[in-house]
Structure 1
Amino acid sequence: MGVNTGSAAIHITPVVVKTFYKHTKRKGQKLREGDHTEEATDDILFDEAFHIVKAFIALGTRNTVESLQSFTNTHVPAPYWACVVPLQIPFTSCNKAADALIDWFGPEDLKRVVGGERWWQIRGMDGIDSEWITEKEYLEDVDFPADRDLSEDEANVPRMEHLESVMLYVHGGAFFWGSINTHRYQLIRYARKMKGRVFAVNYRKAPQFPWPCPLQDVLAAYFYLTSPPPGAPHKAVSPSKLVFAGDSAGGGLCLAALTVLRDLGLPQPAGAVLISPWVDLTHSFPSVIKNTATDIIPPHGFVHKPSPLWPVDTLPEDGRTRVLPAPTNPPPRPGHADTLKPSSSRVKDQLEQRIEQGKSEGRAAHSAELRDESVGNQEEMLRDMTPEEREGGSKSAASSESGADSQDGNKPGYDTELDFWEPKPPRVLMNDPEARPLELHSQIQLYAATEQLTHPLVSPVIQGSLGNLCPLYILAGDGEVLRDEIIYLAHKAANPKEYPARGGVLKQGRRQQENVEKFQTPTKVHLQVYDGMCHVLTVFTFTDSAKYAYRSIAEFVKHVTLHTAEHLDRNPFPEFHLPPADIKDDDLDESRRRRPSQSRVKSSEQPFWRTHRPNPPGGSREDVKMYKHNEGKAKEEESKGQTPNSEQSQRRDISGVSMLRERVDVFGHVRPMEPKDQIEALRVSPSEIGLIKEGPVKHWLAGQEQWDKKFKRSATKVAMKRKYYEAKAAKLIKQAREQGLELRREHYPSPTRIQSTASLNSTREVGNERRWGPFDIEGEQPPPSAIVGRRDTRESVALMKMMIYHSAPTTHKTVPKIKTSDAIRAAFDPQDHPTKAPQQSVSEQQIYARMLPIHGVRIWQSLVSYFMRCSARKAVDGKDYAVDKIRTTSDKIGMTSPDPTPKSSSP
C-alpha cells in the first residue's frame, strides 16, 4: 500500500486511542500515589503528538524508502496568509559549490574517499528547488518600472528584501526523507517570530544522492544568497545578515558547511541554529542505546522494506549474515572505524609475506588477501598501543606519536604499507576486549558508505577542531538518542583544546592536522537541553518548551544579524544584551495583532488573507514572558560572584562569556546545567569517538535480520525488478546510439561555462552549465546506492533518459530526438511523458498531485493548530480557575477572621 494519507490514518488511529487510554491510566496512578513530578508526557496533547510522530516514522520503516520519500516530498500549498515564493537555484551556484568542495577535498581524497569529482555533481533537475518564505503582512510596497510585467511571485521577492534578518533553513529527515513541504509550517513560524524571511532549500537526498551531494546543495544555496548570479530575483544577502538553521540531518549539514567555509577562508554567516543536529553517524555515544524508549527514532534505526533502490544488498549474499567475525588479523588503517593500530613489525611482516606470495603466483599482492589463521582478539590487537594512542591526542599525528611507531610513521612507504591494513567493510569496537572483532558486510547508514562514516564532513563531531566558527545556538532534547553527541559537540566547539580529536582522525586527513593548529579560538556556544523532550522538539510547537524555543531562536537570529561583528565578538548571546531587547506588543501579541477588528482599515477594504485569517495557534504572549523570565535568570546566574557595577548593569552587555549552558524544564524555564564532570557524554574518551561500536551494530542487526525474514519474498521480487530495469536501461542506451547519441569519451575537457539566469519556477534547459552526466563517470567509484552509477532502478533510467533527450551535459556532442513509438509508450507510463523529461527521483523532485488531496502533511499542520488552540485555552482556563480559587479562599478567610480589617485580593 505504501506510505500515504490513508495508510497513515489507518496505522495511527489505533495509536491515538491506545495512547489516550494509557495516558489516563498513568495520570490516575500518579494521582493516587501522590506523585507530583512533572513530565512532558503529562500533557495529553504532547503525549498524543509524540506517539503519532513515532508511529508515522515506524510506518515508514515498514515500507520502501521511495514510498516515504514520495509522501514527504509531495507539494503542499502554503497557507494563504503566508508569502511563499518557489524558485530554482541555478547551475551557476551549484558549480561554485562544487568547485569549493573540490578545493576542500584535494585530488587524493576525491579519489580515495569520495570516489571521484564528477558523480556527485550530477543531478536530474536543472537546479535545486527552494522557497522564500515570510508573512504577507510583512511585505512592503515597491515601485516597479512600468515596462516590467512581473508575476506575483517575482514581485514578492523585492517586496520582502527590506527584512534584514535572513534564515537559510536546511530541513531534517535522516538525510533521506522530508522536504520543504514537511517543514514549511515551522518556517512560517520562524519568519513571524523574527520578523524576517526564510530561505528553504530542498537538497538532494540519500540513498539516491548520497554524501557529498546534500552538502554541495547546502553550499550552493549559501552562495546563491550571498553571490546571486545575473538574473536572480533577489539582491545579494550579506553573510552578516544571514543565519544557518537546520534540524537533525539538516543541523549536521549546516555544521559541515560551516567547517568548509572556515577551512577555505570564506565568509561565514552571522550565526547558526542547530536543532537536534545529527553529527555522529557512527553512533559512538551512550544515549543512542539508552534513550530509544523516549525518542521518536525507531529503536533499530532506519531499516526499510526492500525495493530496487534500498537496501543495496536486499538479502545477505550466499546465506551469510550481514556482520561477521573479522577474518583478518591486521587491524584497519587509523581513522577507519577502529582503534586498532598496527605495529610496524606486524605491518612489515604481513606485507612481505603477501608480496612474496604474489610473486610466486605471478601476480600482485592485494589487501583482501591479508588473512591469518591465528586471528587475535581485541585485547591482543590493542596490546601494542601506547597510552597516548589509547586516549587520543590533541596534537598532529606526527607530534602525538611516540616510540617505534612514531619513527616508522616518518619512513618512506609507511603509508603504502598501511593501505594493506584497511578492511572493507570496517571493523567494530567490541565491549568485551576478549571478543574477536566484528566486521560489517552491509551498508549500515543510507547517507554514506560504511567506510565514509568516520569522515569529518559526514560526522562533524570528529572534526580536528570546531573552533573559529560563527556563534552557535544548539538545542537538544534530554530524551533523544542523539543527546550525548549534541552535548559533546557543543563543548568541543566552545573548548577546542579540552576536547581533542582522535589521533587516527588527525593521521587520516591533512586538513584535520592543519585545523588543530589553525583553529583554537573557542566558538561562542549557547547550549540548551530540554527536559523530557524528544528529537527535534520544535515539531511540537504547542508545548511550552517549543514556544520558548521558537522565541529564543528568533531573538538569537535578530541579535546576530542586527549587531556588528565587533559587538558579537564581545557578546553573541541576546540574553546578556543590555539593555534587553525591546519586544513590542504589536509585534509579538499574535492573536491581538491578527484580529481584523484591531485594524484601522474596515474589513471590507482588507485583503482576503487578512479578513479571513484565523487566529494563529498559541496566540498569546506566553512565549515572550518565558523568554524574559529566562533572560533574567541567565543574567542573574552569570552575575554570581562578580563585583556589582552599576554602569555595566545599566548600559553594557555581559561580555566575555564563551559558552552558555542551560537546561530547560517542561514549562520552558531555564536552570544552569550541571558541572561537566557529571555529564556522561563528556566522559567518553576521545579514542572512542567516531568508532562503530558493538551495541549500536547489534541493535541495527536485530532489526535488519527481522526485516530480512519478514520481507524475504519481497526481496526476491526486488531482484527481478532490478533485472527488468537493467534490460530497460540497456535498450534505452542502444536506441539512443541508433538515434545519433555521441559522447566525448576520450577525454574530459573543462566544460564551457556561461552565466545562466535564475528564473522563478524555471524548467528551461541550462545544458551549458551542466558539467557531467551518467556516462561521464568512468574511472570513478560512486557509492553503491547512488543512482548515477546504477542501471537497475526506475530513477536511474529516468535520469539517463533526461540527460540523453532533454538536458544534455557539455560532454555530449548530440541530443537525439525520441522516436514516435517510444513517445507513444511513454504516454501510457504514469512516471514518464511523451515530450517532457520523465519524473526524476522523488529524493530530488517534488511530486505535484493532479488533484488537491487532503495530504497527511496538511493534516499534521491542522492537528498542530488544534493542539495550539487547546493549549492556549487550557492556559486561560487554568488561570481563571486559579483566580476563582484565590477569590473563594479570600472570601472564606474574610468571613472567619476576627480582624475586622478587610482582606485585599486581586480583582
Structure 2
Amino acid sequence: MASAFKRFLKQSTEYGKIAFRNQLSHAKQPSSPPKKIAYLIPPMPLLASTIYRHYTKGPPAASWSLTFHVLIALMRDIMKRSSKGTVENLQRLTRNYVTPLPFSISRSETTLPNDYRERAGDILKNLLTEDDNRRIGWDWSTDRTRVSELQGEWLTFSQSFFDTDTSFDASRQPTILYLHGGAYYIGCYSLARQWLSRLIKLSNARCFSVNYRLAPQHPFPAALEDALAAYLYLVDPPASAKHAPVDPKNIIITGESAGGGLTVSLLLAIRDSGLIPPRAAMPLSPWVDLTHSLPSITSNIATDYLPPVGFKHIDSPALNYSLLPPLKDEHAKDKSKPEQACNKETEHDPTKDRSDGLERVQFYAGNDALKLPLVSPIFDKKNLHGLPPMLIQVGKAERLRDESICAALKATNMYPGAPSSSDIPTKIDLELYVDQPHVFQILLPTKIAVKAIEHLAAYVRDVFQKSPTELQQSPRLTIHEIAATGKSRDTTEKLMRKMTSDTWKDWIGRLDHPNLKDRMRRVETAYERILEQLKKENEP
C-alpha cells in the first residue's frame, strides 16, 4: 500500500510539474468562449500543479497551508475562466446563490419604496457638478424608474432562544448596514450570511443589507444611490416598515472590497450633504482607488487572486453602454442659443477615456469618472477628514493593501509633511493581516479569519460602550499587524518610520498621474515579469 501510494505521488508530482509549465506557457493564449457554464469548472492539472509547487517551491505566502494555496489557485483560475462568459451569466450565478443560516439567526425580507431612491438621488444631484455628470456620461437620475424596487434583508440574533426578557428594545441595539462586495458588478447580500451571522452574534447587533443595482447595466452612481436610500430608510422608515426609526448613532456601516469602497463613498455623501453621520464604519479591504495607482497593485500580484488587469468578459448586451439613458444636452434644449455643428472633441463617449483613447477599464464607471471622490474616495478633496471613526482591515499580501494604508494616513492627517487642517481628522484603526489576500475574512474559517471577525465584533462593542468624548480622546491612528497565528502587535511607529517623505511623494505622484493608459501598462508589465520569473523557477 505504501509503495503504491509513493508511485502515485511521484506520478502526480511529475504530471503536476508538466501541467504547471503548460499553464504558464499558455497563460496568454486566447480561447473561444463556450456556450455553457462548464468553463467555470477548474481543470484537474491545476490541482496537481499547485500541489507540486507548494511542496517543491513553497507557497506564495509563507503561512499558507496547502488547502489555502489550492483555494487561491482555484479562485484565480475561476476568475480567469469567467472572462470567457458573459457578465449576465456570472451575475445570475452570484445573485441566485442561497446561503443557509444558523438556527439562531432570523431573517426578514423587506422592500424599500422607490421614494427613498428619489430622496437619495436628490441629495446626490446636489453633490455632483455639471462637469461631474458629463464625466459620468449617462442620465442616471432616470435609471430608478426602469428597475424594480430595492430589496433588503434583516438578520437578527434570535434572543428568544436564550433570553426571556421581553423588555428588549431593538431600536437601541447596534445596527450594522452591510454593503456587499463583488467589484460593483456581481454578488448579493446572501453570500455574506455566514460571516455576518457570526458578527452579529458576537457583537449583539442586528444587520440590514440591500442588493444594490449592479454595473455595467447600472453604473455609478446607481449603487451609491441605493446605499444612501438604505441609510435613509433606516433612520426615517415609512409607517409600514418592520422597524422603528434607527438613531444614526446606533448605525455602523460595513462592507468588503467594492462594498468597502461603497461604505467610504456613502460616508462622504453623508458628510457633504449635512446628514447626521453613523457612529462608525468598518471597511474590509476597501476598493477606494479605481485607477490602480499604488505599488501593491503590482507588487502583490503573486499573493492575491484578483485578476492582473481588471475584470473582462465577452461581449453581451450588458457591455453595450449605448443602451444606458443618454445624458441630456441642456445646451441643445436652449433655443435662444445658435445651433452649433457637432464637435467631436466635446462629445462624451462613456466607453473611452477622453485624454488617451483607452478602452473602458472598470464596469462601475467610465475612465473620465474614475477620479471622482464618490467613485474613488482616495481622491476626496478633504482627504477623508470629518468622517466617523473607522476600523479598516486589509491583508498585507493583497493588491489593494496600499489603498487602505494611504486612506488611513490621509484621513488621520498623519502622512509625512501633512499641513494643519481646519477639518477634523478621522480616527482610524488599521489592521494589517500578514500573508492574507483580498477579503480573506470570508474565504475559509482559518484561525486568522476567525480572529478578524472577532476584532470586528469587539470594535462594535467598543464604540458603543464609549462616549463621544472618550472616542475623541483615543489615538488618532493606530496600526496593528496580526500574524497568521492570530497574535497582534502595535506597528504604528514602524509603519510611520517606513513611510518616508520620498515614499509618500511617490504615492501621491502615482495618484496624480494623468495618464490611465500608463497605469494599465505598468500593471501588464509587472504581470509579464512575474510570469517570466515563474517560468525560470520551474525550469529543470
Q: What is the TM-score normalised by the length of structure 1?
A: 0.48
1:658 equivalenced with 2:481 (yes/no): no
Q: 1:105 offset after TM fit, Å?
A: 2.0
Q: How does 1:524-603 map to 2 (within 5 A)?
A: 524-571=427-474
2:9 matched residue in structure 1: none
- Residue 412 of structure 2 is aligned with which of 485, 494, 502? 494
Higher relative contact order (CA 8 A, sep 6+): 1
| Aligned-partner Cα distance in 2 for 1:532–1:98 | 41
1:431 matched residue in structure 2: none
- Residue 54 of structure 2 is aligned with which of 16, 23, 27? 23
1:40 matched residue in structure 2: 63
Once structures 1 and 2 are overlaid, which stretch shifts more, 535-544 or 290-299? 535-544
Residue aligned with 2:317, SS: coil
What CA deviation, in whole Å up to 9, does each residue of 1:430-484 have, x standing for no partner?
xxxxxxxxx1342111000111111111111011111111001111111111111
Residue aligned with 2:271, SS: helix
1:586 matched residue in structure 2: none
Q: How does 1:240-259 map to 2 (within 5 A)?
A: 240-259=249-268
1:882 matched residue in structure 2: none
Q: Is the 8 A contact 2:430 2:479 kept in 1?
A: yes
What CA deviation, in whole Å up to 9, does each residue of 1:671-712 have, x standing for no partner?
314243524863425343154444542367899xxxxxxxxx
- Residue 121 of structure 2 is aligned with which of 84, 89, 98? 98
2:395 matched residue in structure 1: 477
1:686 equivalenced with 2:508 (yes/no): yes
| Aligned-partner Cα distance in 2 for 1:138–1:197 | 14
| Aligned-partner Cα distance in 1 for 2:93–2:348 | 43
2:175 matched residue in structure 1: 166
| Aligned-partner Cα distance in 2 for 1:547–1:367 | 57
Q: 1:664 offset after TM fit, Å?
A: 1.7
1:509 matched residue in structure 2: none
| Aligned-partner Cα distance in 2 for 1:84–1:423 | 39
1:453 matched residue in structure 2: 370
2:13 matched residue in structure 1: none
Residue aligned with 1:119, SS: helix
| Aligned-partner Cα distance in 2 for 1:312–1:698 | 24
Counterparts in 2 of 1:474 and 1:268: CA distance versus 1, 3 Å: same
Q: 1:267 offset after TM fit, Å?
A: 0.9
Q: 1:59 offset after TM fit, Å?
A: 2.5
Counterparts in 2 of 1:422 and 1:687: CA distance versus 1, 3 Å: farther
| Aligned-partner Cα distance in 1 for 2:196–2:277 | 22
1:224 matched residue in structure 2: 233
Decide which structure has the larger Cα Rg and report it. 1
What CA deviation, in whole Å up to 9, does each residue of 1:608-658 have, x standing for no partner?
xxxxxxxxxxxxxxxxxxxxxxxxxxxxxxxxxxxxxxxxxxxxxxxxx10
Q: Is the 8 A contact 1:2 1:64 kept in 2?
A: no
Q: How does 1:430-445 map to 2 (within 5 A)?
A: 439-445=356-362
Residue aligned with 1:62, SS: coil
| Letter of the 1:487 counterpart | I
Counterparts in 2 of 1:117 and 1:297: CA distance versus 1, 3 Å: closer
| Letter of the 1:489 counterpart | A
Q: Is the 8 A contact 1:301 1:700 kept in 2?
A: no
- Residue 279 of structure 1 is aligned with which of 280, 283, 288? 288
| Aligned-partner Cα distance in 1 for 2:172–2:78 | 36
2:314 matched residue in structure 1: 305
Q: Is the 8 A contact 1:491 1:499 kept in 2?
A: no
Q: How does 1:767-806 map to 2 (within 5 A)?
A: none
Residue aligned with 1:134, SS: strand
Counterparts in 2 of 1:2 and 1:570: CA distance versus 1, 3 Å: farther
1:118 matched residue in structure 2: 141
1:61 matched residue in structure 2: 83
Residue aligned with 1:445, SS: coil
1:387 matched residue in structure 2: none
Residue aligned with 1:668, SS: coil
1:237 matched residue in structure 2: 246
Q: 1:91 offset after TM fit, Å?
A: 1.4
What CA deviation, in whole Å up to 9, does each residue of 1:475-507 have, x standing for no partner?
111111111121101110010786779xxxxxx
2:533 matched residue in structure 1: none
Q: Is the 8 A contact 2:411 2:428 kept in 1?
A: yes
Once structures 1 and 2 are overlaid, which stretch shifts more, 171-180 or 128-137? 128-137
Q: Is the 8 A contact 2:203 2:458 kept in 1?
A: yes
Q: 1:117 offset after TM fit, Å?
A: 5.9
| Letter of the 2:111 counterpart | Q
Q: Is the 8 A contact 2:121 2:141 kept in 1?
A: no
1:270 matched residue in structure 2: 279
Q: 1:667 offset after TM fit, Å?
A: 1.3
Q: Is the 8 A contact 1:252 1:277 kept in 2?
A: yes
| Letter of the 2:219 counterpart | P
Q: Is the 8 A contact 1:83 1:134 kept in 2?
A: yes
Q: Is the 8 A contact 1:120 1:212 kept in 2?
A: no
Q: Is the 8 A contact 1:496 1:520 kept in 2?
A: no
Q: 1:308 offset after TM fit, Å?
A: 2.4
Q: Is the 8 A contact 1:72 1:178 kept in 2?
A: yes
Q: Is the 8 A contact 2:288 2:378 kept in 1?
A: yes
| Letter of the 1:454 counterpart | K
Residue aligned with 2:359, SS: coil
- Residue 386 of structure 2 is aligned with which of 464, 468, 481? 468
Q: Is the 8 A contact 2:291 2:371 kept in 1?
A: yes
| Aligned-partner Cα distance in 2 for 1:213–1:274 | 20
Q: 1:210 offset after TM fit, Å?
A: 0.2
| Letter of the 2:430 counterpart | L
Q: Is the 8 A contact 1:138 1:195 kept in 2?
A: no
| Aligned-partner Cα distance in 1 for 2:89–2:220 | 21
| Aligned-partner Cα distance in 1 for 2:319–2:36 | 16
Q: 1:249 offset after TM fit, Å?
A: 0.5
Residue aligned with 2:318, SS: coil
Q: 1:559 offset after TM fit, Å?
A: 1.4
| Aligned-partner Cα distance in 2 for 1:456–1:38 | 33
1:863 matched residue in structure 2: none
1:136 matched residue in structure 2: 158
| Letter of the 1:457 counterpart | L
Q: Is the 8 A contact 1:201 1:218 kept in 2?
A: yes
Residue aligned with 1:86, SS: strand
What CA deviation, in whole Å up to 9, does each residue of 1:734-764 have, x standing for no partner?
xxxxxxxxxxxxxxxxxxxxxxxxxxxxxxx
- Residue 11 of structure 1 is aligned with which of 42, 65, 68? 42
Q: Is the 8 A contact 2:152 2:209 kept in 1?
A: yes
Residue aligned with 1:440, SS: coil
Q: 1:128 offset after TM fit, Å?
A: 1.2
| Aligned-partner Cα distance in 1 for 2:85–2:342 | 40
Residue aligned with 2:373, SS: coil
| Aligned-partner Cα distance in 1 for 2:442–2:140 | 37
| Letter of the 1:118 counterpart | S
| Letter of the 2:217 counterpart | Q
RMSD over aligned Cα atoms: 3.4
Counterparts in 2 of 1:675 and 1:444: CA distance versus 1, 3 Å: closer
Q: What is the TM-score normalised by the length of structure 2?
A: 0.78
| Aligned-partner Cα distance in 1 for 2:350–2:113 | 40
Counterparts in 2 of 1:489 and 1:80: CA distance versus 1, 3 Å: closer
| Aligned-partner Cα distance in 2 for 1:165–1:223 | 16
Count how many residue pairs are aligned between Structure 1 and Structure 2. Answer: 470
1:89 equivalenced with 2:112 (yes/no): yes
Q: 1:278 offset after TM fit, Å?
A: 0.5
What CA deviation, in whole Å up to 9, does each residue of 1:73-100 have, x standing for no partner?
0041533513121111221222221121
Residue aligned with 1:309, SS: helix
